[in-house]
Amino acid sequence: MFRDSPLRRRLDQGGRALGCWLHMASPIAAEIVALAGYDFVLIDHEHGAGNLLGAVSQIQAVSATPAATVMRVPWNDPVYIKRALDTGIEGVMIPAIEDAEAARAAVAACRYPPAGIRGVAYSVTRAADYGLRAAEYGAKANDNLVVMCQIESPRAVDNIAEIAAVEGVDVLFIGPFDLSAAIGKAGRFDDTEVAAMLERAEARALESGVVLGGIPKAGDDVAAMHERGYRLVVGGSDVTHLRDAARADVAAHG
């Protein structure tokens, strides 16, 4: 059901937001996670197993809760982004944004003309309550959506200022694993080169004034990220929550 995005409102008011990845493509898992009290859920179509029809079921499962729905799309592809937005998500995360040109293309894919290139079909799409609130959705959609650009390479880090300067970029989301892998040191967060690059990415994002987002890496936690200026954190996953609880149960009782 279309509404003013609670995630947009929270970030605009200077607040923090805690999210949970949805990798299981399960509406039941989505509902449990949302009911647990997360500010938003993040349906992962870059590394998750789901499709757009399945995403609709997940969004419907979450719709009875205050949690916002965000989707990570597979790539900076205007066709996939257009279809993803029509499901009714309230935020979109776009991988591997490396410069202002890519950021402008991402934002354009998310916005209706004349501000962008998104195809207009809100007379029938779920995002506009299947056309029942078409006029309201059309008027609010561009400003209601939260657009998150992932920073995942040294080139992207170098270009953070220009990416952040693109109108419509709401969150710079630092990807520590891909950043470390990009220099041949995947997951080696105690390495001085990796640590310096991550510190540089955080500092440049904070200097830009755009919301800084990310995930906890090894040796890190959400509280420490908040202290460093992160306002949007995805702290866990339906997969990791289930996996870790199951392993703990087996360790305790197996």
CB 87 within 8 A of CB 122: no
Catalytic residues: 47
HEC string for the chain: CCCCCHHHHHHHCCCCEEEEEECCCCHHHHHHHHHCCCCEEEEECCCCCCCHHHHHHHHHHHCCCCCEEEEECCCCCHHHHHHHHHCCCCEEEECCCCCHHHHHHHHHHHCCCCCCCCCCCCCCCHHHCCCCCHHHHHHHHHHHCEEEEEECCHHHHHCHHHHHCCCCCCEEEECHHHHHHHCCCCCCCCCHHHHHHHHHHHHHHHHHCCEEEECCCCCCCHHHHHHCCCCEEEEEEHHHHHHHHHHHHHHHHC
